[in-house]
Structure 1
């Protein structure tokens, strides 16, 4: 949600979206690129359980899509927040209070899959998982149930989720400590550096060397802030039952 200049954005090099007060991004397996002038931004990130609770649609239908929430029926419940978040002057505390009040006022929905979503999410964070069979065993689900549940609530099939986790662990490790170089940050489940480079192109749309050559003034700070506040540098590595640090 933006106050000031509105960004021009695209996901994975797809159709651009611009001139909108807010954007809604589904589950992602590639980069979101945007350019923006002077603006203030509030971002709200949903973990899979949050998607199941607040978005009435299968996640895979909206995977790797960038949307205007004012035009999509399933996002209608968010429109009052989007339209009423900002006042004439910046008020960070008041805006945060309005965001919290919006979600607190939403009527709780019964989630038959809640325990299985949490089990799958917790299993996905295990760095020792290497195969879909390992994933299914850790989540205590049959393979076909795991496939259905992952697509509906996580947006992608189990194999791609495991591949993304492996990549995100590597990227986060490098961003937190570039002195390791890529060779020291690559996850142990990669067979070799060539496999990592292929995944880098798949998820980032560029080579590792191209990424290193680009500046990351915002992302580096965000990763360190996330690590301090949430215990993980990127959202994909957050615990499914994440609590505020003061509640730990």
Structure 2
């Protein structure tokens, strides 16, 4: 199976079976680690998989800040081996509770993951309300400018830039572009009979404006992407929409429960 993951927040992936191949943006295609940590991305991730099982754990910005001490910018558009990077040592024990070769029910494996995170809360720092507020504003489809975001948070542009890089992984201007692009992409994937024009977010000036963003984020044209099969992404987008009310992780409102 081959597909291209759209830009996302950070993800932890625990893999059993044939390790997949992957690469972010223009990076080389390499074999993914068994415990694979992917930072927030602003480029498509190519992946190719054979027979495998995988548990994926998506981390919103507040989760990254709560469980890891490193700046998200240091891991942006890259993936690391979670078993060797000390930043993620608190997550490595999860792999020991998965894929034991028996007929362990999926629900039991899911519970072991959930229990591990709950136990980590005992020593995790308290939630930072500024992160939650910034994220909630970021997913507002009416947000148009970085200055508006700073004003709504009652902070300076410089403070917003520092917060954005540390917690979200990218400067705020890029994040706004990414939101606009993914709203358009999600709309088209959820309604594949639409053409790109009818799927465009209202903040796009025209189709050529969208086309430039598509090339920048996905590394190919919208037409090329549409012509390719998306066996994983089509299922994921519709599954996430049904479960969480948003077709993509980046569009999920952090103030709304799953």
**TM-score > 0.5 by shorter chain:** yes
Which of residues 57, 73, 83 is equivalent to 2:70?
57
Once the two structures are TM-superposed, the CA of residue 108 in structure 1 deviates from its matched residue by: 3.8
Give matches, 1:110-121, under 5 Å. 110-111=125-126, 114-121=128-135
Secondary structure of residue in 1 paired with 2:232: helix
Distance 1:56 1:70 in 2: 16
The answer to whether the Cα contact below 8 Å between 1:52 and 1:153 also exists between their aligned partners in 2 is: yes
What is the distance in 1 between the residues matched to 2:115 and 2:30? Answer: 29
CA–CA separation in structure 2 for the residues paired with 1:211 and 1:205: 9
Partner of residue 8 from structure 1, selected from 21, 28, 41? 21
Taking structure 1 as reference, are residues 175 and 17 closer, same or farther at Cα in structure 2, changes over 3 Å only?
same
- Offset of 1:20 from its aligned partner? 2.5
Q: 1:2-41 counterparts in 2 under 5 A?
A: 2-18=15-31, 20-41=33-54
- Which protein has the bigger helix share? 1
Please say if residues 94 and 116 of structure 2, whose CA atoms lie closer than 8 Å, have aligned partners that are also in contact: yes
Structure-1 residue corresponding to 2:61: 48
- Aligned-partner Cα distance in 1 for 2:132–2:221: 34
Deviates more, 1:125-134 or 1:166-175: 125-134
1:152 aligns with 2:166: yes
TM-score norm. by structure 2 comes to 0.90
Cα contact 1:17–1:66 (8 A) shared by 2? no
SS of equivalent to 2:177:
helix
Name the counterpart of 1:109: 124
Query: Is 1:30–1:202's contact at 8 Å kept on the other side of the alignment?
Result: yes
1:242 Cα offset (Å)? 4.0
Quote the Cα distance in structure 1 between the aligned partners of 2:44 and 2:81: 18
Structure 1 residues 189-228: aligned runs within 5 Å: 189-228=203-242
How many residues align? The count is 243
- Tell me the alpha carbon deviations over residues 23-72 of structure 1, each in whole angstroms, 9 at most, x when there is no partner: 11000001111111111111000000000011110000100011111121
Long gaps (5+) in structure 2 = 1-13
Moved more, 229-238 or 12-21: 12-21
Aligned-CA RMSD value: 1.4
Structure 1 unmatched runs, 5+: none
Query: Deviation of residue 136 (structure 1)?
Result: 1.2
Q: What TM-score do the two structures reach when normalised by structure 1?
A: 0.94
Structure richer in strand, relative to its length:
2
Post-superposition, which runs of at least 4 consecutive aligned residues in structure 1 deviate over 6 A? none
Q: CA deviation at 1:16?
A: 3.4
Is it true that 1:182 corresponds to 2:196 in the alignment?
yes
Relative contact order higher in (CA < 8 Å, ≥ 6 apart): 2
Deviation at 1:140, TM superposition (A): 2.6
